[in-house]
Amino acid sequence: MNLDAIQKRWLAPAEIHREADELRQKHCPAGEIPIDSLLMAEDMGIYLDEVADLYRLVGSPGCISMSGQEILIDLDVFRKPNMENRLRFTVAHELGHVVLHRDLFTYLRKEAAGSVQRWNDLMIEYQRHSLSSTYEWQANEFAGRLLVPPQSLALALQPAFDELRRRKIHPSVFTVEQIAAFVAPQICERFKVAEKTMRIRIEKESIVKTMLEEWSF
């Protein structure tokens, strides 16, 4: 297989965000938090299947099936209650691949030629290829935006800013990273995402910057 033959598709964050927002609005129009990526996948006609030792087989806790009609999830991620947030993010990540990387998976299916073992080998080869760093980042960015809608994030951040206003503390004395590190543990469970995912969303979205620009005591 020659993955170098695939033209790497660079996507700006704004384009990734637009795709994630459109998918959420189409399959989860109410936008109620937490966003259920599992129900969203089902609504798209994509079903989940648990696979023992998937991580060992393909180097990832989740992947698209050869048919493209299933998201395969490592058994441990699928069944363990303490992995619920990881499951939601993994499914959202794979939906990112479905939406953003159709060209890649069309090529891989052609290369697999109907062989499941060949498909698994191709997944491992992809993970080791330089293409994966770009595409995995894009899928992660898609998943984060899908699960943490900016409007809902702004509402979740407001109480922290209200508390600063009550104490007469201007938030500009803190960096965005410090604000994210302080607030993320308090609100991540509301969205059913990991604390790290929430920190990244707070840091990457322009919400804090907008709040600072509109700040007044």
Q: What is the mean pLDDT of residues 113-125?
A: 89
Residue-wise pLDDT tens digits, 3-13: 666 767 789 99
Domain ranges across the chain: 12-147, 150-213
Beta strands in 75-217 (DSSP E): none
Confidence class for position 35, pLDDT limits 50, 70, 90: very high
CATH assignment of 12-147, given 1.10.10.2910, 1.20.1250.20, 2.60.40.420, 1.10.510.10? 1.10.10.2910
Contact 40, 94 (CB under 8 A): no
Per-position DSSP letters for 26-71, written without gaps between them: HH-TT-PSSP-HHHHHHHTT-EEEEETTHHHHHSSSEEE-TTSSEE
Q: Which of 205 and 210 is assigned the larger pLDDT?
A: 205
- What is the predicted pLDDT for the residue at 25? 96
Q: What's the CA gap between 117 and 81, in Å, rounded?
A: 30
Confidence class for position 30, pLDDT limits 50, 70, 90: confident
Range in 85-89, 130-134, 196-200 with the lowest mean pLDDT: 130-134
Q: What's the CA gap between 121 and 112, in Å, rounded?
A: 9
Has residue 217 got a pLDDT over 70? no
Q: Which of 103 and 195 is assigned the larger pLDDT?
A: 195
- What is the predicted pLDDT for the residue at 216? 65
- What is the predicted pLDDT for the residue at 2? 66
Contact 93, 139 (CB under 8 A): yes
Q: What's the CA gap between 190 and 193, in Å, rounded?
A: 8
- What is the predicted pLDDT for the residue at 75? 92
Tell me the three state secondary structure of residue 164: helix
- What is the predicted pLDDT for the residue at 1? 61
Contact 195, 85 (CB under 8 A): no
Tell me the three state secondary structure of residue 148: coil
Residue-wise pLDDT tens digits, 95-118: 999 999 998 899 899 999 999 899
